[in-house]
Amino acid sequence: MSVVLVDAGGTNIGSVRYALQRLGVDAALTSDAAKIRAADKVILPGVGAAGPGMARLRELGLVDVIRSLTQPVLGVCLGMQLLCAHSQEGDTTCLGVIPVHVHRFEEAPDLCVPHMGWNRLSPRVTHPLLKNLQEGDWAYFVHSYAVPMGSYTLASSDYGDPFSAVIASGNFHGMQFHPERSASVGAKLLKNFLEL
């Protein structure tokens, strides 16, 4: 099985590669369109802001490449948000493969933004990506923007209000948390993705 990490300038790429290596997969880091199209699985990692992330994909000529993929694709953290239609962060038009708009968390006296740290997951549907995920399992989040709940929501978390923690539409999937930093739960979900 060939797995590629899209080299879109995310700073968590090393830790994602290491998490995959622990699962027995050596994922190539590439911005080569042919290699991305030929892979069995594609992962779009990302830490940073939506505007620069999309600018990097445009600069590499990968926007239409990613949109046209038919194999399983996983966006992680910012990578998940880039799969959506639009982000409020920098008023950014994103890839649009999952038709939803990403919004900034509302600040409140008891809620700091960014949302940072461990939070519980709540499965909303039965899906192969969530195999063996239990209600209340913990995952590690670092983000200021979130995908609202919708028909694409596979699992949610709560920060003031529920938001999408895992999403999917067709062959495109996203995890808002960092599976590579989420201990056994993250490893389980990455393994599930590799088995799709």
Alpha carbon distance 126, 132 (integer Å):
10
Phi, psi of 89 (to 5 degrees): -70, 110
- DSSP state at residue 107: P
Distance CA 3, CA 36 (A): 9
Q: CATH number for the domain including 131?
A: 3.40.50.880
- The values of phi and psi at residue 169, to 5°, are -150, 110
DSSP strand pairing (28-30 vs 3-6): parallel
In 3D space, the residue among 27, 2, 7 whose CA is nearest the CA of residue 17 turns out to be: 27
∠ CA 105-5-64, rounded to 5°:
75
Sequential pLDDT tens for the chain (196 residues): 999 999 977 666 888 999 999 999 999 999 999 999 999 999 999 778 999 999 999 999 999 999 999 999 999 999 999 999 999 999 999 999 999 999 999 988 889 999 999 999 999 999 999 999 999 999 999 999 999 999 999 999 999 999 999 999 999 999 999 999 999 999 999 999 999 9
Give SS3 for 121: coil
pTM of the model: 0.96
Catalytic residues, by residue number, are 77, 178, 180
CA angle in degrees (0–180, nearest 5) for 69-64-3: 40
State the Cα–Cα distance between residues 12 and 25, nearest whole angstrom.
17
pLDDT of residue 11: 63
| Range(s) of the domain holding residue 37 | 3-194
Q: How many structural domains is the chain composed of?
A: 1
Coil/strand/helix, residue 161: strand
